[in-house]
Chain A
């Protein structure tokens, strides 16, 4: 019973599934190809439930395999059990199990983001906060309306809502797992110290009060970022067309993705409502059949059955749309935001480089502290150029990732739509024959 006080336990990894999984990113093309870090990174369409091997035969050298092996939903929070198997030298044990909450994932993301050494990389976007408010609200409303419906109807609705809750749950687990796996498969992030701490330190990583600060801080930070963007793009002319174009493209693209994601969500939500209406119609028909007799009763009861089945089919279409299209749009909305952040950091670096250049000129003209200025300028130059090189690679990687992910999602979306439509057509055809026989 999901009345908020109980705990629900999800034992299977989100990959052994029946439709609840989402595979979002294909493996990072920069990741070392030897290890089993991302055995489950390949897509499994919800219907071919190929579960990832729970224990790969043997770990190679420098392997880092991360998964969320268990998760617990408890009142306001979700507790993820992160299981790590590794042969990396820095780790004390080969096998680690820790329990982490969402805030600790945010902590890890922030630590990596603020690390200046990583300025030239796209920081994998932080997973969204687990949000069961909608499901909880619905279950509550169901409880309140229990008197208004028949036992059958109540049972049906309850199991439906529980399934919805479960799906939301599985999704949040998957998103947190994808985040970790992206880090674990990145050549630089995988050896980050904070990641190691996250994976093996068996105590809580952050005290509660920080949550509030973090939110506030985050808000201020994001404000600052936007003004930065405006400032930088106004004053710093990029020396490289590639980056100039990329920034423009990403800014526009990010906006469109955000809008598309929000509209897709509204659409799939309404589609679910259409499904629910069919259930109401089915219930009304069932009631109608009780006052009919003979073959009229049979006919009406069959009609009720048909509408219920249509409801199931339409709901599947809606949730698959959400899965394939919605999730992809949402994820790349966040990822493109991270890519944009990289470009902004690079522009800041460029500004610093230009400042260093001006300082050097000034120093030379005054013939004072020339050596210091030269060193500073050389450093700034190197920093900038390595960031540019790194950034370019990251952006190309991002583009490839994005294109591959969209391709996969679109192909799967089309396949599912066709499959569901064929199913519904076949079902309706059979039902029509059955109805005509009764009539």
Chain B
């Protein structure tokens, strides 16, 4: 009984406190972006968000800057980023690979429309971590950064300096990383809020070297601590059962988990295709060599010539198979892998929401306790303690308010992010499948041309 009254009061109080068309202050708590020349025309408030949600939701509030940008998501703004030309900088253990990051854009936040700068791998990890720290708690999906490759990067450090400092380096994993970095930056730039984040803009634009993101190195102390935190969180995830008001979230996370499972299967199948295709390429090369040996040995001139041409064809096909393996890899396999990573990021934001809920519940608990205290002091007529108790009640009331606001905000943000994610997931998938098929078509045409060139030599054997 006693418990119920405070909650009832709570509701009433909330209704009173109805935050309404205030400034962007509530949201900017989370945004923390200094925004010197801040997003100019996007400051208006509009409570446009029509409720498709359950009546038990008390408030939804959209921060202004989000809304406008979401609405203009596919508008006239474009941004295109390329990551290229990996080059070794420096020597020995302190050396590293630098990549050229070239941007083309008409987004007004940037100072120029075309520009480039040099960034190293840890810079990319750094900007990723920055964005996560800023936005994940608000429920935004931050595209995961490519993983580290300690062995590969050490090899680069240890390899002798090239004749000219500008020579490109030919190691396969570097190309894989370069492509992954490009996809990472591209995805991040598709996000309407992230793309205009000051740090991200700086990352793309600024000529200056960025402060070493030391905490991102695999073996750093901070890294180890983060690992521990993650473990703790995982345990938390498993044990805490949230009192879910909105079935949308449970349904959605189940959807994501199903998608994850299915894509895992697809990923395995794709990996097997890539490796079979690469082996096929090598074996074709061996057949080419054998055909060449037969050709030199063969005494019949016509047959010898045909066999020599067969060797040529098989050699060309060897290269083609290798190309096919690359398209299998980059267009399909890596793409699916990226999405498996994104599912991880999504699970994180759902978890952030649970944490927000926990905070809210915790605050509510504290508020009840304080009210109880106050009640007790009132009853006992302890005027001295009453003041303080009253203060505490007010303090926690404020906290409860803010916590609920945060919870509502993140819930709304997640819904928006998921909608955006769903659209771009489907678009990406369709685009990649179509691209893959187009590439395969080109390969088949090449095959036709190789064999058509060979056929006359076979026919001419007398």
Contact = CB atoms under 8 A, between A and B. Distances in A.
B331 interface: no
Interface in B414-462: 426, 429-430, 433-434, 437-438, 440-441, 444-445, 447-448, 451-452, 454-455, 458-459, 461
A155 interface: no
Nearest to A431: B437
Interface string B102-137: 000000000000000000000000000000000000
Interface string B261-299: 011011011101100110110011011001101100111
B266 A288 contact: yes
Contact of A281 (B269, B298, B451, B459): B269
Interface stretch (B300-308, B348-356, B375-383): B300-308
Contacts of B273: 274, 277-278, 280-281
B259 interface: yes
Nearest to B456: A414
B303 A270 contact: no
B262 A284 contact: yes
Interface in A281-338: 281, 283-285, 287-288, 291, 296, 299-300, 303, 306, 310
A303 B445 CA distance: 21
A406 B303 contact: yes
Interface stretch (A206-214, A224-232, A261-269): A261-269
Contact of A291 (B259, B279, B291, B294): B259
Contact of A285 (B266, B284, B434): B266
A252 B284 CA distance: 22
B109 to A, nearest CB: 32
Interface in B155-187: none
A151 interface: no
A288 B263 contact: yes
A266 B266 contact: no
Given A260-B290, A281-B266, A435-B437, A414 B303 contact: no
B31 interface: no
B300 to A, nearest CB: 5
Nearest to B269: A280
Contacts of B294: 253, 256-257, 260
A249 B447 contact: no
Contacts of A303: 433
A272 to B, nearest CB: 9
Interface string A231-272: 000000000000000000100110011011001101100110
If over half of B's interface residues share one DSSP class (helix, strand or loop), that class is named, otherwise mixed; here it is helix
A60 to B, nearest CB: 31
Contact of A274 (B277, B458, B459, B461): B277
Contact of A267 (B286, B302, B451, B455): B286
A156 interface: no
Given A259-B290, A288-B263, A425 B276 contact: no
Given A280-B269, A281-B270, A432 B444 contact: no
B13 interface: no
A277 B458 contact: no
B437 A306 contact: yes
Contacts of A161: none
A11 interface: no
A414 B437 contact: no
A439 B298 CA distance: 55
B286 A263 contact: yes
A149 B139 CA distance: 38
Contacts of B297: 249, 252-253, 256
Residue among A266, A306, A410 facing the most chain B CB atoms (10 A cut-off) = A410
Contacts of A432: 434, 437-438, 441
B413 to A, nearest CB: 24
B325 to A, nearest CB: 9
Contacts of B444: 421-422, 424-425, 428
Contacts of B445: 421, 425
Nearest to A413: B458
Given A291-B258, A303-B433, A425 B300 contact: no
A415 B455 contact: yes
Contacts of A260: 287, 290-291, 293-294
Nearest to A275: B276
Contact of A428 (B287, B310, B437, B448): B437
A418 B290 contact: no
A281 B286 CA distance: 28
B91 interface: no
Contacts of A92: none
Contacts of B452: 414, 418
A260 B297 CA distance: 13
A439 B434 contact: yes
Nearest to A262: B290
Interface string A75-115: 00000000000000000000000000000000000000000
Contacts of B451: 414, 417-418, 421
B255 interface: yes
A407 interface: yes
B290 A256 contact: yes
B461 A403 contact: yes
Residue among A252, A276, A418 facing the most chain B CB atoms (10 A cut-off) = A418
B459 A425 contact: no
Nearest to A295: B426
A306 B438 CA distance: 13
B58 to A, nearest CB: 31
Interface in B359-403: none
A414 B426 contact: no
Given A263-B286, A280-B273, A435-B434, 8 more contacts: A253-B298, A273-B279, A273-B280, A288-B263, A299-B430, A406-B461, A435-B437, A436-B434
Interface of B: 255, 258-259, 262-263, 265-266, 268-270, 272-273, 276-277, 279-280, 283-284, 286-287, 290-291, 293-294, 297-300, 302-303, 306-307, 310, 426, 429-430, 433-434, 437-438, 440-441, 444-445, 447-448, 451-452, 454-455, 458-459, 461
22 contacts: A249-B299, A252-B297, A253-B294, A259-B293, A260-B293, A267-B287, A274-B277, A277-B270, A277-B272, A281-B266, A281-B270, A283-B265, A399-B299, A417-B447, A418-B448, A418-B451, A418-B455, A428-B437, A428-B440, A429-B441, A432-B438, A439-B430
Nearest first, the 6 A-B pairs at minimum CB distance are A277-B273, A260-B290, A280-B269, A410-B458, A284-B266, A425-B444
